[in-house]
Structure 1
Amino acid sequence: ARQIRLVNRLRASWLAGKTRPIEYRISQLEALGRFLDEKKQSILDVLAADLSKGEFSDILLVRNEVNYAINNLSAWMKDEHVEKNLVVQLDSAFVRKDPYGVALIIGPWNYPIHLLLVPMIGAIAAGNCVIIKPSEISKYSEALIAEMLPNYLDKDCFAVVTAGVEETTKLLENKFDYIFFTGNPRVGKIIMKAAATHLTPVTLELGGKNPCYVADQCDLQNAANRIVWGRFFNAGQSCIAPDYVLCTLETQEKLLPEIFGPILPIVTVANLEEAIDFINARERPLSLYAFSCDNKVIHQLLDRTSSGGFCGNDTLMHVALVSLPFGGIGNSGMGKYHGKFSFDTFSHHRASLLRNAGLEAINRVRYPPYSDQKMALQHTPTHRLPDCIG
């Protein structure tokens, strides 16, 4: 009952239009930025308590997203005017970026602040009301978010719910207008099934085994440095970390002295062709990495495989760019976010046509009785029609 009241309260605020003005959205984004600034040490402390690490980069990446959204929101929100055919040449046709309504964001335990707040930034920027549910596994981070964040944000539009598995299952029975989940494929299927009850759209940020191909012609020392860094980043608890290396036997023998053996499984393949077949025979990964001095090899892997993201001659770094989308495909998830992609994810792209109330002479060709002249005019191409109509 408490959850139902909470969802209804937020929906009432959304229906009243409270979150729609740009001034309101920016004020809430600025408030989220103040939370990051003023509670910086507390955030680092809870990350250390939960994960034995308190890296300032966690805060910095979220702060960068806040700043990027504030600086670009005016441009993002503008109606996107589209090409018109002769029939509507005097009318206005555009895409309106509408908020969905009440969004639910469920965060993971391994990045309990970063992967909870970055999607929230997109949801706020897009004009939604938001309920966030931190992971109960990272209990210190969960407590900080639940106790401190509501002091900064408008309680009529934003809320934090703390819940275990049973309570989260009940929470998912409510009708949300968008659900964003970060976790594993098994739970992702449960989330998607619950969302299907209300035909609620979802973004699922899942995981999988991320391959890393190392070519024979490659700077092995640089490759080793970058792969080991990616493997151990965030104490190895990263959904985009390289999970195994694909290389020839010759390259494997050179890699072992670089201490690959103890930290990453190495799968030997005869050549690039076999490596591509090996990758394509498995579920599509969240990230795919390739190391080679030959750009043709990098591009072959990019062109002939499928993954959520791709990075050549490095690991993880593609995720640091707010100008690139982050998301999975197939078993590694669906949907994308970061930067403007977050705004677009939490926005309904509403087709809008505003016609002139007069000029009825233009429309008479549509109305019966249909003379030969009218029929001829109706069959005169005014613009290429979509295949589903033409």
Structure 2
Amino acid sequence: MSGKGGKGAAEDPGSEPTLGMDPFEDTLRRLREAFNTGRTRPADFRAAQLEGLSRFLQDNKQLLQDALVQDLHKSPFESDVSELITSQNEVDLALKNLQDWMKDEPASKSLLTRLDSAFVRKEPFGLVLIIAPWNYPVNLTLVPLVGALAAGNCVVLKPSEISKSTEKVLAEMLPQYLDQSCFAVVLGGPQETGRLLEHKFDYIFFTGSPRVGKIIMAAAAKHLTPVTLELGGKNPCYVDDDCDPQTVANRVALFRYFNAGQTCVAPDYILCSPETQERLLPALQSSITRFYGDDPRSSPNLGRIINQKQFQRLQGLLGCGRVAIGGQSDESDLYIAPTVLVDVQETEPVMQEEIFGPILPIVNVRSLDEAIDFIKRREKPLALYAFSNSSQVVNQMLDQTSSGSFVGNEGFVYLTLPSLPLGGVGNSGMGRYHGKFSFDTFSHHRACLLSYPGLEKLKEIRYPPFTYWKQQLISWALGSQNCTLL
């Protein structure tokens, strides 16, 4: 979920594949044949797969924590709260509600269909592909997988090759807990992903950057394959003059610098007046010191940049505007200090791409209306934040803007609620998941009407020739279809 070089699962899956045997053909044929037997459809089978996923999380907790330390310098606690517990909660929720989610949903009927049975059946799509990113390589891999398994699909899982240690654990351990006739992990970089996308899938779920998302969508279009694209963008954070600066600083700093800023829904930049900026800067410095100490580099609670490429991209952004807080970096440790930039111009690179790192620019606006106009002139973000003591201000920002999600006076804690969907709009993506939304995303909602083979005399009204009284009766019956006759 980023702009240039952000958290794409593959840097460019549009690259030309190497010549030779297709490495995926046998695997995909095996999975599709398994699906066609109906093996994945029963509730018992789906529950067994979810229970296997739960055991994987429990049995391999230490392995996953160690991998996340190696990939992103995540502390065990941060790994738990942002990756492992979140994934486990999704599994538990799906197991608890699977029978209800799978039930046919009755549909309302008109007088013409009063004696028929009308319902919506949730069916698996078939063979689905999940392409995962590197920034939350457990959470953003397994949470979509929960929905795909609960919906009864066969799954090809492509973890990110960039988070190498986590990829290794997923590839070596996860298949041991799932039915390998219906599930496979495939590995590789851009070329392998490009080759994979040449095949027909029944659904593709991708988390990554808008740039790569366009490549995924173009590949899917060749087979008319539906997609969910969880992308990203520049998430605005409006701070009103009427607010407590320390409260705002605490909440913004927590969610901006969490995972070293490598979070698709993190506040990407602040919009506020010059006067609020002056009050906010010392408050942000206070929050950063409180959270990470006088030397953030030695804090166990501050992560690292994923690799050299991302580090160098972020280091280039440090030259935008003026550094007001932080700015230190060490390439040998992939460390960038929690940083705040001021005097930032909207034409500078730091305002042209999703930052995806521990850098927070502040852009000055003179009013709420100017902030709203600033946001509306840009691509629709994945998340939008507004801080104010005035509910009128927060509601005005909500009413007059568009974003994947909206939060007033808080950070992305809403991600802990499976009752709320995660998904973008416009450039920040399409589709949604989490909780039942994941099950629905990976299910085809099939319209069904079952009629009685008899009762032909009652149905003769529908047949030509259409006399005057037939026309009147049919029109009247059709006009009754707003009735809720189940």
Where on the TM-score scale, by shorter chain, does this alignment land: which range?
over 0.9
Q: Which runs of 5+ in 1 are unaligned?
A: none
Q: 2:112, 2:478 within 8 Å by CA — same for their partners in 1? A: yes
Does residue 114 (structure 1) correspond to residue 143 (structure 2)? The answer is no
Partner of 1:276: 372
Q: 2:110, 2:481 within 8 Å by CA — same for their partners in 1? A: no
Change (3 A) 1:200 1:224: same
Measure the CA separation in 2 of the matches of 1:244 and 1:370.
65
| Equivalent of 1:160 in 167, 181, 185 | 185
Partner of 2:29: 8
Partner of 1:83: 108
Change (3 A) 1:291 1:384: farther
Measure the CA separation in 1 of the matches of 2:475 and 2:368.
54
Task: Say how many residue pairs are matched.
Answer: 386
Does residue 328 (structure 1) correspond to residue 424 (structure 2)? The answer is yes
Structure 1 residue 250: Cα displacement: 1.1
Structure 1 residue 21: Cα displacement: 0.5
Partner of 1:342: 438
Partner amino acid, structure 1, of 2:435: G
Measure the CA separation in 2 of the matches of 1:88 and 1:376.
17
Q: 1:119, 1:337 within 8 Å by CA — same for their partners in 2? A: yes
Structure 1 residue 42: Cα displacement: 0.1
Measure the CA separation in 1 of the matches of 2:38 and 2:260.
43
Partner of 1:319: 415
Change (3 A) 1:190 1:384: farther
Partner amino acid, structure 2, of 1:282: R
Measure the CA separation in 2 of the matches of 1:143 and 1:380.
64
Does residue 40 (structure 1) correspond to residue 61 (structure 2)? The answer is yes
Identity %: 59
Partner of 1:183: 208
Partner of 2:80: 56
Measure the CA separation in 2 of the matches of 1:307 and 1:292.
19
Partner of 2:127: 102
Q: Which runs of 5+ in 2 are unaligned?
A: 1-21, 286-323, 326-338, 340-359
> 3-state SS of the aligned residue for 2:461?
helix
Measure the CA separation in 2 of the matches of 1:348 and 1:140.
35
- Give the TM-score normalised by the residue count of structure 1: 0.97
Does residue 249 (structure 1) correspond to residue 274 (structure 2)? The answer is yes
| Equivalent of 2:460 in 356, 361, 364 | 364
Partner amino acid, structure 2, of 1:56: D
> 3-state SS of the aligned residue for 1:2?
coil
Measure the CA separation in 2 of the matches of 1:368 and 1:310.
54
Q: 2:111, 2:477 within 8 Å by CA — same for their partners in 1? A: no
Q: 1:96, 1:349 within 8 Å by CA — same for their partners in 2? A: yes
Does residue 18 (structure 1) correspond to residue 114 (structure 2)? The answer is no
Q: 1:289, 1:312 within 8 Å by CA — same for their partners in 2? A: yes
Partner amino acid, structure 2, of 1:258: A
Measure the CA separation in 2 of the matches of 1:383 and 1:7.
48
Partner of 1:134: 159
Measure the CA separation in 1 of the matches of 2:265 and 2:233.
8
1:128-172 Cα deviation digits (max 9, x unpaired): 000000000111111111110011100000100001100110100
Larger deviation: 370-379 or 172-181?
A: 370-379
Partner amino acid, structure 1, of 2:118: A
Measure the CA separation in 2 of the matches of 1:373 and 1:184.
60
Partner of 2:354: none
| Equivalent of 2:405 in 288, 297, 309 | 309
Structure 1 residue 5: Cα displacement: 1.6
Measure the CA separation in 1 of the matches of 2:475 and 2:430.
41
**Aligned-residue CA RMSD in angstroms?**
1.2
Partner amino acid, structure 2, of 1:107: A
1:321-341 Cα deviation digits (max 9, x unpaired): 100000111111110000000
Partner of 2:304: none
> 3-state SS of the aligned residue for 1:25?
helix
| Equivalent of 2:238 in 213, 235, 247 | 213
Partner of 2:383: 287
Q: List 4+ stretches of structure 1 deviating above 2 A.
A: 259-263, 368-386
| Bigger relative CO (Cα 8 Å, ≥ 6 apart) | 2
> 3-state SS of the aligned residue for 1:140?
helix
Larger deviation: 376-385 or 134-143?
A: 376-385
Measure the CA separation in 2 of the matches of 1:137 and 1:384.
58
Measure the CA separation in 2 of the matches of 1:383 and 1:321.
41
Q: 1:109, 1:138 within 8 Å by CA — same for their partners in 2? A: yes
Structure 1 residue 361: Cα displacement: 1.3
1:171-203 Cα deviation digits (max 9, x unpaired): 001100000000000000000000000000000
Measure the CA separation in 2 of the matches of 1:384 and 1:289.
44
Q: 1:310, 1:318 within 8 Å by CA — same for their partners in 2? A: no
Partner amino acid, structure 1, of 2:393: V
Does residue 174 (structure 1) correspond to residue 195 (structure 2)? The answer is no
> 3-state SS of the aligned residue for 2:24?
helix
Partner of 2:172: 147
Partner amino acid, structure 1, of 2:48: S
- Give the TM-score normalised by the residue count of structure 2: 0.78
Partner amino acid, structure 2, of 1:72: N
Q: 1:213, 1:275 within 8 Å by CA — same for their partners in 2? A: yes
